[in-house]
Structure 1
Amino acid sequence: MKSFKLNSIAIAAVAAMSIATVANVAEACSRFTLDTPHGVSTVRSLDWGDQLGNVAQVNPVGVKNVSETPKYKNAMEWTTKYHAIAQMEWDVFGGVASDAINSEGLAASLLYMYDSAKFIEAYQDSGAPAVSFLDVIRYITETYATTEEAVKAFNNNEWQIAWKDGLHGHEHGLHISIQDKSGDIALLQLNKGGEMVVYRGDTKSDLRVMANSPLQQDHRAYVEKVNLDDLAATGIPSSISSLDRNLRGLFNTQHVEFKEDASWAQTRGKLLSTYNAGNLIPQDLIDPTNGETYATWTQFVYNHQNGDFLFTNYDTRAQIGYNFNDTLGFTETMCADTVKQAEQGLQKAVFTQCAAQ
């Protein structure tokens, strides 16, 4: 486990400076959620201009939590209802939960969405308990059992996103996907006029792929210009832009076929090769939409049904795994620095008490 020498205030200050300077660099990250003979599975990468870390944090049932949202009347307080594991990024984002999955097979993913930033000013406090972007992925997976349950609560104004609090005091556009073991998917985005839009779909819909800007309606307009049925892929663009990554992801996942008699390891390999063919970002390439460079630093693939989780650090191409079910006996919050442990040559993550932040 990484030893964090900075106190919480210093970490927040470093994260704020780092995030505040990369508004246009952030057109990165992708997420696939697909159905396989071994159950619904998700592949997710974190891509950024600076190298990223990753700590897997186990949050057992019964833990009391409070989200800090000073710009909102009501802050969310919750007690962990479902045992969950969150992927925490401390090196750049100062403790953001980027992805998580719980014991019921419900997962959630947080990705950058630059185009929503300009709508934050128009967003009105709904009066519901507000959840910080630092905590929202944890809150969803520790509170709800299905995508439908989480969305119904959101639509009933039982929780809201603390847009104006942003990340460590700086406003940023982000968006959230929620996906469960049945393949039900929801995408939450902030649109024009400060309106929250909730898209619904499943692993057969275009919500199976998630990228970054532009907003979903603009992604759909871009994809409509290309014939995804053309296996020759003559109209599939090659840049690392979010528009092109989303389109390539839809094309590749539309044509992938998972064999019923293949093992989970073989299926997982095919998931990763499908993802990496169109959505993994090599170092040093330039995004034509903003002239910036960023790369895939960390990636994980997990199965919503059997609990398998595999982490890859693309700085060294080291891998480490664990099974969700092996953590069910934990009664206190436990952590594993998967980047550090993978670099040490461990093949299975070792969870210990979390270092004080």
Structure 2
Amino acid sequence: MTITKNTLSALLIAAASITALTPVAEACSRFTLETPHGVATVRSLDWGQQLGNVAQVNPVGIQRNSEAPSYANAMQWTTKYHSIAQMEYEVFHGVASDAINEKGLAASLLYMADSQEFIKDYKDNGAPAVSFLDLVAYITETYATTEEAVRAFNNKQWQIAWVDGLHGTQHGLHVSIQDSKGDIALFQLNEGGEMVVYRGDSNSDLRVMANAPLQQYHRDNAEKVNFDDLTAKDLPSSISSKDRHLRGLFNTQHVSFDEGKNWAQTRGKLLSTFNAGNLVPQDLIDPVNGETYATWTQFVYNHSNGDFLFTNYDTRAQIGYNFNDTLEFTKPMCADTVKQAEQGLTKAVFSECK
């Protein structure tokens, strides 16, 4: 992933636009589940205005660096693994929201507003710092498994550049790492500036990721719900992150995948499971913050066979590609999946990134 250096005026515009949209940031969901065709992830991006999406391929051997001016050491690296990152430019001006590499390791960046107040207490531990702009890209370009990435984090080989935020504006965010074996790690900034890393797998509660509150409070909420009751009378119906998280846990607990179904059928069931409880329709109000937002973009990908399907919910247009078809690329290549889907293409066309 190559991030073009913005001029000062562009940075100010970016920061202002992101700051203005902060109140409507309580959205996005991520499922990671085991299927007969391997581990698969479904991810939505929800916001108060329409989002874009550019798939960017970064081959092996690209020299990379991360801008983290508030830290003693900014991360510099060379891509070790062929990776594809999902880039958002329309609102977030170059943030990689999700990425996956040739080993089937993926990372997802979601909003976590509750962490913002703890940024002031976070201390630079001396590790090379990685900006939120390219955090998920760094992880997938550098590590092969969730365990490897967590071990490197614990050994202070990388840290998150919390103070620098996005284009100079601080935000609460959290990141999950999930690999082809279903191993999951969730990284969150907690009270006192403490980084907490939760570990689990695609059968644990980490299979579902949403936004605020922090994971320990999601778990408190889940303890109050009888997930074995198929009448689902304990499940709330609002679009709030708390409610979406509970519905996601319930729906994924009861979904089963038929060994005899092909991947396309399995993918369809994954999407229907996700959409039943976690897709956010337009015009509804979140009772927690009084804001409205909606799912604009969504993707589902298989960590083993390389299949990737993108949906633009503004038009309900879909476009796909297979990771393996990009392995011959020797330089960064991009595909604007929103634009190409609107043009009626069903398979993404990659060209040199502008």
Compute the TM-score of the two structures, normalised by the length of structure 1. Answer: 0.97
Structure 1 residues 274-313: aligned runs within 5 Å: 274-313=273-312
Please give the secondary structure, in 1, of the residue aligned with 2:233.
coil
> Over aligned residues, Cα RMSD in angstroms?
1.0
User: For residue 186 of structure 1, what is the amino acid of its counterpart?
Assistant: A
Structure 1 residues 217-296: aligned runs within 5 Å: 217-296=216-295
Counterparts of 2:313 and 2:8, CA distance in 1: 29
Counterparts of 2:8 and 2:150, CA distance in 1: 33
CA contact (8 A) 1:11 1:94 kept: no
Counterparts of 1:291 and 1:306, CA distance in 2: 41
Please give the secondary structure, in 1, of the residue aligned with 2:23.
coil
Shift of 1:144: 0.1
User: For residue 112 of structure 2, what is the amino acid of its counterpart?
Assistant: M
The C-alpha deviation readout for 1:195-220, integer Å capped at 9, x for no partner, is 00000000000000000000000000
What does residue 210 of structure 1 align with? Answer: 209
Shift of 1:9: 4.5
Shift of 1:51: 0.7
The C-alpha deviation readout for 1:211-238, integer Å capped at 9, x for no partner, is 0000000000011111000011111110
The C-alpha deviation readout for 1:48-75, integer Å capped at 9, x for no partner, is 0011000000000000001000000100
What does residue 350 of structure 1 align with? Answer: 349
- Point out where structure 1 has 5 or more consecutive residues left out of the alignment: 1-5
Please give the secondary structure, in 2, of the residue aligned with 1:164.
coil
What does residue 97 of structure 1 align with? Answer: 96
Counterparts of 1:37 and 1:267, CA distance in 2: 8
What does residue 3 of structure 1 align with? Answer: none
Compute the TM-score of the two structures, normalised by the length of structure 2. Answer: 0.98
Structure 1 residues 35-74: aligned runs within 5 Å: 35-74=34-73
Shift of 1:19: 1.1
Shift of 1:11: 4.2
Counterparts of 1:303 and 1:8, CA distance in 2: 38
User: For residue 347 of structure 1, what is the amino acid of its counterpart?
Assistant: T
- CA 1:336–1:187 in 2, change beyond 3 Å: closer, same or farther? same
- CA 1:334–1:156 in 2, change beyond 3 Å: closer, same or farther? same
- Point out where structure 2 has 5 or more consecutive residues left out of the alignment: none
Shift of 1:351: 0.1
User: For residue 30 of structure 1, what is the amino acid of its counterpart?
Assistant: S
The C-alpha deviation readout for 1:107-146, integer Å capped at 9, x for no partner, is 0000000000000000000000000000110000000000
Structure 1 residues 314-325: aligned runs within 5 Å: 314-325=313-324
Please give the secondary structure, in 2, of the residue aligned with 1:217.
helix
Counterparts of 1:58 and 1:12, CA distance in 2: 24
Would you say 1:175 and 2:179 are equivalent positions? no
Please give the secondary structure, in 2, of the residue aligned with 1:18.
helix
What does residue 26 of structure 1 align with? Answer: 25
CA contact (8 A) 1:53 1:298 kept: yes
Shift of 1:18: 1.5
CA contact (8 A) 1:24 1:114 kept: no
What does residue 327 of structure 2 align with? Answer: 328
Please give the secondary structure, in 1, of the residue aligned with 2:232.
coil
The C-alpha deviation readout for 1:126-176, integer Å capped at 9, x for no partner, is 000000000110000000000000000000100000000000000000000
Structure 1 residues 98-117: aligned runs within 5 Å: 98-117=97-116
What does residue 86 of structure 2 align with? Answer: 87
Counterparts of 2:136 and 2:194, CA distance in 1: 20
